[in-house]
Amino acid sequence: MKMEKINRYFHNIGNFAIFARKAYKSVFPWPKFKNIFKDLYEMSIKSFPIVALTSSFMGLIMTYQLIYELRKYGLEVNVGGIVGVAVTRELGPVFAALILAGRLSSAIAAEIGSMKISEQIDALKLMSVDPLNYLVAPRLIAAILMVPLLTVFADAIAIFSGFLVSYNILDMSLLRYIDKIQFHVVTMDILSGLIKSLFFSQVIVMVGAFFGYTTEGGAEGVGKSTTNAVVYASVLILLVDYFLTALFFG
């Protein structure tokens, strides 16, 4: 039984690798702009409110905790710099990606999975339409544009939320807060976070598309694919984050 599970596990990894290769090849010829625009809208305007909300609370809570700890050593004046480094390097990209995985990976898996069990994907093939070029490629392109942009907004909102707490508790001015950010945050911190978000964007789309494309078993199968897409996308985001962090700062 254990060997069967191990074999199935490696078989799924191989299938995912093959699917990813086909999906990236399907980007050419370039998908229709109206399909890309639809996904750009879905990943930007519709996703921004939840990303902004979670980022603001992340900044508020983290700053409260930091001030509490830094006061023990008389270093609370540096709270802005620490918030800036933590958010740009790690928390902004990862939080945004996990929220988007819950929202987008599940939606992609549900949509493609529903099309799979209703044989709409087979119908696309009969009409000589590449299903990957029609369903997956536009999302890959939209994600690589929108997820880093949402990450920038998430970083800015979290850092500003940290300022509100600092002003309320420490009576710290905005200029002093920004000065500490400029002192501690370097280009590599911002660049590493944006590069991470590029990788996360592809994980979010690819995992959702893979589980949607391999859906079996009717409506129950769609539900299972949706759940698996969120779980595996979240785990894979953290795994990719570990290796990229080790690469940039190891």
pLDDT, tens digit, for every residue of 76-118? Answer: 999 999 999 999 999 999 999 999 999 999 999 999 999 999 9
Counting residues of the chain whose pLDDT is more than 90, the rounded percentage is 81
In 3D space, the residue among 59, 86, 107 whose CA is nearest the CA of residue 211 turns out to be 107
Residues of 110-141 as b/e, b for ≥16 C-beta within 10 angstroms? bbbbbbbbeeebeebeeeeebbbbbbbbbbbb
The full length of the chain comes to 250
Place of tokens 């996703």: 47
Residue 9: the pLDDT is 79
Q: Is the pLDDT of residue 1 over 60?
A: no
Q: Which long-range contacts (CB under 8 A, 24 or more apart) does 116-125 make?
A: 116/212, 116/213, 116/214, 116/215, 116/216, 117/215, 117/216, 117/217, 117/218, 117/219, 117/221, 117/222, 121/213
**Model pTM greater than 0.75?**
yes
Place of tokens 């694919």: 225
